[in-house]
Amino acid sequence: SQTIHQWPATLVQPVGSPLSLECTVEGTSNPNLYWYRQAAGRGLQLLFYSVGIGQISSEVPQNLSASRPQDRQFILSSKKLLLSDSGFYLCAWRDAGISGNTIYFGEGSWLTVV
Amino acid sequence: GDSVTQMEGPVTLSEEAFLTINCTYTATGYPSLFWYVQYPGEGLQLLLKATKADDKGSNKGFEATYRKETTSFHLEKGSVQVSDSAVYFCALSTKAGGTSYGKLTFGQGTILTVHP
């Protein structure tokens, strides 16, 4: 069966520090991968998606970047965090086959920028 | 573009009450529809889904029917429990194929609190 893991689960970072959140998927090949952000009291916003290694699309302009160095690894980064980057970050995956239209989420990472 | 509108919360109910959370959508084509649930401090879990008109998704006593004529996917449960307290998200996904990436578009979420 497929599983998705992301880490760290919780982190507190000062303004201006770098960020790296990592996500891996097991039990599938060539998945579509996603990073979502959920700001406090708000809905979910798609930040990045990837359909293959090295292929990253950004949905909104922002202070963050994403990379996919391996088929089942998706990394969310920032060189210098802003206070507004605080939130709950969720990695997700979907089977890229035409019939696979359910998106499955990781456990989430709580980021507080202070 | 695609959009999902959910009933505003928070919703507060007593145990064993009937629950309805309204969800309507706008989309091009024929989307798949989903309800996700987020328990406190956790990620999102798929609760149920429906992929075509008149389909009924069901799980854990929750149900939702894909109504194309009213572009709705309302979530219902006949008797809620304290353990159902969570945030519920309605979402749609366009049919993925070829270079389409099938992203999810979410509603704003509805907070449900169930008291004993």
Q: Per-residue pLDDT for B21 more than 70?
A: yes
User: Per-residue pLDDT averaged across B46-67, rounded?
Assistant: 95
pLDDT tens digits, residue range A13-44?
A: 999 999 999 999 999 888 999 999 987 666 78
pLDDT at A42: 67
CB-based contact A33:A68 (threshold 8 Å): yes
pLDDT at A98: 56
Our CA-based measurement puts residue A107 at a distance from the nearest CA of chain B, in whole angstroms, of: 4
CA-nearest of B89, B67, B72 to B25 is B72
pLDDT tens digits, residue range B68-97?
A: 999 999 999 999 999 999 999 999 987 654
pLDDT classification of B99: cutoffs 50, 70, 90:
very low
Respond yes or no on whether the N-terminal peptide bond of residue A8 is cis (omega within 30° of 0): yes
Write out the residues of chain B at the interface with chain A, using a CB-CB cutoff of 8 A: 32, 34, 36, 42-46, 49, 51, 89, 93, 95-97, 99, 101-104, 106-109
